[in-house]
Structure 1
Amino acid sequence: MSPAPLVSIVVPVHNDEGTIEAALASCLAQTLREIEVVCVDDASDDGTVAVIERMQRTDSRIRLVRHEENRSALQARRSGVMEARGDAILFLDGDDELESRAAEVTLAAMQGSGADLVQFDVTVVDRHGNSGGAFERRLAPQHDSLRGSAVVTGLFPADAPARGQLWRFLFRTTLLRAAHAHLREDVSLVRVNDLPLMFLAAALAQHLVSVPEKLYRYHLGRGGSGHQVDTIERARFYAAAIDSVDIIRDAVASVAAASGDATAVHDAYAAARLWTVGYVCRQLVERADPSIVDSAVEHLRTKTTDDDLLAAAGAHSPGSLAVLARHVDHQPITNREVRSILLVTSTLRTGGVTAVLSTQARMLTEAGFRVTVVARNSNSDPSFLPSGVEFVELAGGGIEARLEAWRAICLTRSVDVVIDHQMLYSSYWPEFAAMTRACGGATVGWLHNFVARPLLDGDDRLGNIEKFARVLAHVVALSPLDVSYLKLRGITHSSYIPNPPSAMLDGERRAPRERPTGLHPINLVWWGRLEERTKRVSELLEVAVLLQRRHTAFSLTVIGPDWGGWTAAKFNALARRRGVAEVVRAVGPKRGRELEAAIDTADAFLSTSLIEGYQLTIAEAQSRGLPVFMYELPWLTLVQENAGIASVPQGDAAGLADAITAVAADPVLFARLSRGSLDAAERAGSYDFSDLYRRVVTGAPTGAFSPEPTLEDARLLLGLLRFYSEANRSQTKTVTPRRELAARMWRRVAPLGGVGLQRLPGLRPLVARLKRRIGVAD
């Protein structure tokens, strides 16, 4: 009669005909002779059993237990554990092998330490026979010894993969049987079926030791792991991994209650579940065939909540966030105490977005919120921000590195709400909004231009807003017509808020201006960025030429920084070429008192913008009593019922020249426009912006700020969308094939170039000249 085994090797098998002989041979070759091999056949329908029975006839240490029906590897291992006669158990899958000293080395470690769990190193062999990769390194023991609750938290740490492989350990048999006592005998798991038993064993264990030897050969890809997800059936197979962790939820609660550290057990379980869901997201979203991704995600959503999916993806599969953001249900800002707010932009610099963001930062800080401003790119000027507001520049690198940095910001600052000011100017906002929600926060998207802007630019960002709007708690636009478009397209969680007044709107009511009589020239002023694509600064020169032809006495001062290839020097050179240099001059940027003084010496404001979201310069000009001459921008709240504006159809430079000539010759008309401007400026500054911003971050503006669309809105929108689509085509025709190719190549290398410029900022002037040559705008 053979001696009682010291170690039982449990081998669950199912259709392993081609590999089981090598697996059993590795067991029989153990240097420790006092072993038994308990093979549990889980209803194989190939020649697996025949191979086992043949080898059993040559070595009585092999035992065979058979299941009449397939019950999953979890139950096959249970049968093996219950049949085992040894005091300790090793597990071996039917397509792997043990090293010859595995039983001897691990048993000696257990007997020498009194541990109930011994971990060892493994060799991972890929399909090409190679070993030593990253997965193998991750499986190596991380702790020499652990005791008490440190066993489960050490084996299942937070923010790390949950390694549930049973074949990396020698277990005391009593430990495994105690773990199985918490699992139902009828449970069948098709995926990740070792993790439930591994977790419960770790939670029950009191002492773990490790040995450094590689004692197991794992063949990656032979079983159910490592295969392409190319069918919905395989997607469901991978998604079943979530069942494997959910099935032990009650068991974990029971074990935690009886342990000395319930919190540690629950935290470890939460970490294991988070990783498992994240792993499934990675398989079904990042690595699946694109044709099944949407169906796979919808199936995945039946397994757990949207918030669980986003939290898991945020921690372990950031590449999944964009797709998940397309599928999640809308979640408004409700039932949450808001304390910490992030305001996000690309770069803090001269311009309307920075002005609005700075005002928001001041008002929200004054309202008692903790406000942090984040710039996603470098070269910001934080001096625009009010005191008491923190500023963070997001780390460089690729999108995943930025998302990791974003996650750290959201978690360390306990962010409740993010206001993203870059929705119309960034392609990556959905991932950041999804990551924010993954960290327990909510995102408000802020549109700083009319919704037709992407049609003019020829990009897909308007489609992105529609596609990903559900991941946003709310969408804020600048006009009722924007809200009408959003609601007509199904984005009902939207409202509008006009831009806040600038410092020029100081609340002081000024007297209307009077037009000097006689031949005194009308002094026109324009200020903003010297930008052609949307502000059409070249049209200022066209209007000037037409005024000169009409013999209208005038001057035009152009104020603002160089932008996108346009400089003050270039503008003035064009003025000379067109014969208006004596009355038209670009003077560069001015700020604060210097800008106000320049405006106060003017008689009227001239605008040739093709598209704007709010155009704060109109309100600033009207606050000083200046009449405004402009191309029609009918959605702007500023221009509606505004008696201080003379507007003409887009591109009608002659119409602008005629309007200016008429007003210059009519002091009564000039005075009426000036009074209208002052009235309009007073209305523009009359909103309670502090209250509006508070409502944005704690709920959503409703009522008048979230109007329902009308048939007239739809008619106007259709006309404007057509106009800007045609404007884009007109602009595209002027681009030569060579410049178009150069621009396309530029956009491909721009992300790497941005990283390079952070290291070599001296190259920026050269890069700016190159961008101007190939026509790439900022």
Structure 2
Amino acid sequence: MHTPPLVSIVLPVHNDEAWIAKALESCLRQTEGRVEVICVDDASTDGTSEVIKDFQSRDERIRLIRLEQNGSAFQGRRAGIMAAKGEYLLFVDGDDEFAPDAVAKSYAKAHATNADLVGFGVEVINPDGQKVGGYQKRLAPIHESLSGDEVFTGLFPVGRAAQGQLWRYLFRTSLLREVYEMLPADLVLPRVNDLPIMFLVAARARKYVSIPDRLYQYFFRRGGSGHAVADVTRFAFYMGAIDSVESIRPALDSLAETRKDPAELVKSYESARLSIIANVIGFLHKNMSSELHGACLDLLHTRVPQHDVVLAAVTHSPEILPVLATSGTRIEAGERPVRSVLLTTKTLTTGGVSGVLLSQAHYLLEAGYRVTIVAHRKDSSLDGVPEGAKFIEMKAKGLPARVQEWAQICRDEEIDLIIDQQILYSRQWPAYALMARALGVPTIGWIHNFGLRPIYDQNDLTSFLTDHLNALATTVTLSPLDVAYWKLRGIEHTVFLPNPPSPLLIESAAMDVTKSAPDGRIELVWWGRLDARTKKPVELLAVAQELRRLSVDFQLTVIGPDWKDYTVKDLAAEVEKRGLADHVKVVGPRRGEELIRSIDAAHLFVTTSIIEGYQLTLAEAQARGLPVVMYELPWLVPVQDNEGIVAVHQGDAVGLAREIAAFAEDRDRYLRYSQASIKAAERMTSYDMSSLYQQLVQGALPAEFSPEPTLDDARQILDWTVFYAETSFAENAEKPRGLASRRARRTAAAKQATPARKASLAHRVARRSIRTFPGLEPVLRRVQKAL
């Protein structure tokens, strides 16, 4: 070669006989001919070298270096870089190609700007010749120009997947040599061997520019790219990517010493390392049978701490969290002594979930545990935090940072067990549970509503929970039927526990209550949040209309705060519209003594909920001697064996009104139900909650709290699944006007369906449910036979 090359093209190859000719042709047909092509044969065992020699005989710009031992593309590139004569250098893999103007355009940009590094676009081509647009977009340059330290932070931003593809850049050759001198001369990197070089180049480069042109053709799944992982041995090969990124740590330490503020360098390195770990788990998720996930994760954990695996998934690939949840090793409650318990929720409020958490804190303190309460968001109300409990409000921004903060809280407070109250209300809880598990801390999750709530809400929460609940030591539900539901979903570590009694219930249970039967007008009370969809306060108006038609003298007081898109004002307007203002008063929220006076002024508690997990208002009303008239919710623990409650079919407002009328007309019946209510409330306060929570955290709850599914359980679950699915569909399909009355008629008619129609419907649902409920098939066969 008589003219020194402007650009050296380094082509590391290993057994690329099928593709090398195309790669070489693309190098030789460059519109800028002042190039040299340095082929480094990394100990090929096929005819790769012979193909190169044939080209070399026809074009003196081609040079061939043969390595006697396979040292990976990392060593192949080293040999090519050290031999290069051009001021700038490009890389091409043996199964890829250049655009004809790749050298001309990239060199012209570098020469005009005196850049150390020039980025350009990539054309990605799949096996059938089609371009892969999404991948091309991800590989396209983001920045037009970067200088100084911003070259590094721009090309390796914290929190983004690390990109190492060397063939996307034109390099200043001297910079590449400096970087290779920073690394061991005998380093062999079978996987991700380009990332160490790219990372250190970006850290040392002072000037980066880019052009949008796609100058490189990457042939996806040609040669060694994009092939599936088949077994644990193959997975171990992919794990080599972690060795690659960790190989640069000594060089990174040296670089950090030369910087005034090395923090960004270290943060970016840790982010790049986590992205590679996430990449490895991503291969596992996409390419391997689920039966091998556990063995592969065990192997990965021998190489990487579990908490780094979790943080990698949270930061870069949240979609792989279910793999960690289902395939990782669960920690059972009681595996280690428990002294310190962490209770957590989104924020402490005056609502029911916060009330449960605060009661749990009280009982756990009473049982001798150290208690820490953690709120994930600000603006908590701390009035109810019991003395002796420590409160912490999380401050970090973004899930990865918050998960790290969570881990630090667990360490600082020496947490032995976590109870998480937001399982049903957040999709971020698996990240926290998995991080805790990585630290050896089990998490108990609380589901505060009936298991079929997602069916009624028409969302994918059932599948989400099923995918992630194995991250928990125990899943706590509120009824035996909930236990059956989740066990049929394959979640065996499920129990139920009653909710702790509220302060109102405890105070009322200690009193000697005697209730007088109505004499003349019967006073009714409803209280709860004005949740139009689940609490159904509008149903009260249909009940009131029927009571008026029956000539019952009554007064209904509706108590509760606004809720989302339905307010006190909205309900009051509907009362006026229906001409019920003489009988129905919507009074808004009442608390404390004011609420108690309203309850004590009433004769009956009316509730219209369509779905509940554990309705404490039932027990609170009964503790004040009020009989309860409600829509049926037979799974509720407070309802079972409760002779102070009368239940009618869901949506049967007429039936509800007639039961109320019967109480107004029958003094003896009223007094019987009032006394039964008081006894039922006493039973609800008879649980030794301190003992139950102690058994829970020790993994020693009696078997009665985790019953196995029965034929009747399966039948009920099928019936209620159909009911909630059809009701939700109808609610979404119908206009709001007249919805309540139409639904009531439709639901009442459905409840009167013939046994044959029910059997047919159950059979259709059963066929669809086999895939939904693992292990349900034998139970369903028994259901169908019985029907």
Find the counterpart in structure 1 of residue 64 from structure 2: 64
* Alpha-carbon distance in 2 for matches of 1:100, 1:548: 86
Candidates 354, 373, 376, aligned match of 1:374 = 376
CA contact (8 A) 2:341 2:419 kept: no
Bigger Cα displacement from structure 2, 526-535 vs 475-484: 526-535
Q: Secondary structure at the match of 1:343?
A: strand
What code does the residue aligned with 2:117 have? D
1:50 and 2:54 aligned: yes
The aligned residue for residue 493 of structure 2 is 493
SS in 1 for 2:65: strand
- Deviation string for 1:180-219 (max 9, x for gaps)? 66557xx8x3x423357889xx8xx9xx965547799997
Residue 756 of structure 1: aligned partner: none
Residue number among 234, 238, 242 corresponding to 2:238 in the alignment: 242
1:505 is matched with: 505
Secondary structure of 1:586's aligned partner: strand
1:235–1:162 Cα change, 3 Å: farther
User: C-alpha separation between the residues in 2 aligned to 1:443 and 1:227?
Assistant: 46
Count of matched residue positions in the alignment of Structure 1 and Structure 2: 675
2:434: which partner in 1?
437
2:451 is equivalent to residue 455 of structure 1 = no
CA drift of 1:384 comes to: 6.7
In 2, the alpha carbon distance for the partners of 1:123 and 1:101 equals: 8
Instruction: Show structure 2 runs of 5+ residues with no match.
Output: 125-135, 258-262, 740-787
Verify the 8 A CA contact 1:120 1:141 in the aligned structure 2. Answer: no
TM-score by length of 2: 0.67
Change (3 A) 1:100 1:660: closer
C-alpha displacement of 1:504? 0.3
AA of the residue aligned to 1:595: L
1:616 aligns with 2:616: yes
Q: 1:597 to 1:438 in 2, by over 3 A?
A: same
Q: CA deviation at 1:563?
A: 3.3
Which one-letter code corresponds to 1:437 in the other structure? Answer: L
Post-superposition shift, 1:483? Answer: 0.4
Q: Does residue 344 in structure 1 map to residue 323 in structure 2?
A: no
2:591, 2:225 → 1: CA distance?
A: 59
Gaps of 5+ in 1: 31-35, 106-118, 146-150, 286-292, 396-401, 740-778
- Counterpart amino acid of residue 372 in structure 1: V
- Letter aligned with residue 355 of structure 1: G
- Matched residue, 1:764: none
Q: What amino acid does structure 2 have at the position aligned with 1:649?
A: H
Q: Indicate if the aligned counterparts of 1:498 and 1:637 stay in contact, CA closer than 8 A.
A: yes
Corresponding residue for 1:109? none
Residue pairs, 1:512-551, within 5 angstroms: 512-516=513-517, 519-551=519-551
The answer to whether the Cα contact below 8 Å between 1:252 and 1:269 also exists between their aligned partners in 2 is no
CA distance in 1, matches of 2:627, 2:445: 33
With over 3 angstroms needed to count, the CA separation of the structure-2 counterparts of 1:67 and 1:363, relative to structure 1, is: same
Partner of 1:504: helix, strand, or coil? helix
Q: Say if 1:606 and 1:224 are closer, same or farther in 2 by CA, change over 3 A.
A: same
Shift in CA distance, 514/93, structure 1 to aligned 2, threshold 3 Å: closer
Displacement of 1:559: 1.0
Q: Does the 8 A contact of 1:322 with 1:430 survive in 2?
A: no
Q: Structure 2 matches for 1:207-222, cutoff 5 A?
A: 210-212=205-207, 222=217
Letter in structure 1 aligned against 2:55: V
Cα deviation, residue 595, structure 1: 0.7
Query: Contact between 1:98 and 1:217, CA under 8 Å: does it hold in 2?
Result: no
The equivalent residue for 1:771 is: none
Residues 228 and 20 of structure 1: is their aligned pair in 2 closer, same or farther, counting only changes over 3 Å? closer
Q: Is the 8 A contact 2:559 2:589 kept in 1?
A: yes
Per the alignment, residue 480 of structure 1 pairs with 480
More displaced 10-residue stretch of structure 1: 213-222 or 309-318: 213-222
SS at match of 2:12: strand
Residue type at the aligned position of 1:728: S
Between the aligned partners of 1:331 and 1:139, the Cα distance in structure 2 is: 49
For 1:41 and 1:229, locate their aligned partners in 2 and report how far apart those are by CA, in whole Å: 16
Match of 1:121 in 2: 117
Are 2:627 and 1:627 equivalent residues in the alignment?
A: yes
Deviation for aligned residue 1:618: 0.6
Determine the C-alpha separation between the residues in 2 that align with 1:227 and 1:300: 27
Range with bigger deviation, 639-648 or 10-19: 10-19
Q: How many angstroms apart in 2 are the aligned matches of 1:526 and 1:317?
A: 47
Distance 2:207 2:576 in 1: 81
Superposed CA offset, 1:50-101 (max 9, x none): 3344443xx7xx74234699875245347668x9699x99884466788999
Q: Which amino acid aligns with 2:461?
A: R
Match of 2:370, SS state, is: coil
- Checking the alignment, whether the CA contact within 8 Å between 1:525 and 1:558 is kept in structure 2 is yes
**Mean Cα deviation higher: 336-345 or 489-498:** 336-345
Give the residue type in structure 2 aligned to 1:515. S
What is aligned with 1:600?
A: 600
CA contact 1:121–1:140 (8 Å) conserved in 2 = no
1:561 Cα deviation after fit:
1.8
Q: Name the residue aligned to 1:645.
A: 645
3-state DSSP class of the match of 2:503?
coil
Alignment-mate amino acid for residue 524 of structure 2? L
Query: Which residue in 2 is equivalent to 1:331?
Result: 330
Q: Distance in 2 between matches of 1:227 and 1:361?
A: 60
* Displacement after TM superposition at 1:374 (Å): 2.4
Q: Matches of 2:117 and 2:328 in 1, distance apart?
A: 44
Which string of whole-angstrom CA distances, capped at 9 and with x for unpartnered residues, describes residues 133-168 of structure 1? 9757599786599xxxxx9x9999986755667786
How far off is 1:675 after superposition? 3.1
Distance 2:376 2:447 in 1: 17
The 3 A distance-change label for structure 1 pair 99 and 328 is farther
Partners of 1:100 and 1:734 in 2: how far apart? 62
Q: Against the structure 1 CA distance between its residues 448 and 555, is the aligned structure 2 distance closer, same or farther, given a 3 Å change threshold?
A: same
Q: Give the secondary-structure state (helix, strand or coil) at the position aligned to 2:374.
A: strand
Deviation at 1:484, TM superposition (A): 0.9
Question: Cα distance, 1:502 vs. partner?
Answer: 1.5
Code of the residue aligned with 1:382 in structure 2: it is S
**Whole-Å Cα distance in 2 between the matches of residues 421 and 724 of structure 1?**
24
Distance in 2 of aligned mates of 1:267 and 1:242 = 24
Does the 8 Å CA contact 2:196/2:248 hold for their aligned counterparts?
A: no
Partners of 1:131 and 1:575 in 2: CA distance: 58
The residue aligned with 1:410 is 406
Contact 1:9-1:92 within 8 A present in 2 as well: yes
CA shift digits 1:487-522 (9 cap, x unpaired): 1221112111222221202355222324257x3433
CA contact (8 A) 1:351 1:529 kept: no
CA deviations 1:7-59 (Å, max 9, x no partner) are 999652454445547868999969xxxxx986313446595443344443xx7
Answer whether contact 2:311 2:403 (CA < 8 A) is retained.
no
CA distance in 2, matches of 1:209, 1:557: 74
CA drift of 1:254 comes to: 12
Between 1:18-27 and 1:303-312, the stretch displaced more is 18-27
- Counterpart of 1:278, as a letter, is A
| Counterpart-to-counterpart distance in 1, 2:419 and 2:512 | 38
Equivalent residue of 2:590, what SS?
coil
Q: Give the SS at the match of 1:537.
A: coil
Residue in 2 that maps onto 1:748 = none
Aligned sequence identity (%): 36
Q: Secondary structure at the match of 1:389?
A: strand
Q: Quote how far apart the aligned CAs of 1:485 are.
A: 1.1
- The whole-number CA distance in structure 1 between the counterparts of 2:246 and 2:23 is 37
Q: 1:591 to 1:53 in 2, by over 3 A?
A: farther
Aligned partner of residue 382 in structure 1, secondary structure: coil
Aligned residue for 2:495, secondary structure, equals strand
Distance (whole Å) between structure 2 residues aligned to residue 539 and residue 136 of structure 1: 57
8 A Cα contact 2:120 2:213, kept in partner: yes
Partner of 1:586: 586
Query: 2:385 is aligned with what amino acid?
Result: P
- In 2, distance between residues paired with 1:465 and 1:522? 45
| Shift in CA distance, 654/170, structure 1 to aligned 2, threshold 3 Å | same
- Residues 484 and 707 in structure 1, CA contact (< 8 A), matched pair in contact too: yes
Q: Does the 8 Å contact 1:374/1:394 carry over to 2? A: no
Following superposition, the deviation at residue 481 of structure 1 comes to 0.8
Residue number in structure 2 paired with 1:728: 728
Question: How far apart, in 1, do the equivalents of 2:706 and 2:578 lie?
Answer: 47
Question: What's the offset of the Cα at 1:249?
Answer: 10
Structure 1 residues 281 and 137, CA gap change in structure 2 (3 angstroms)? farther
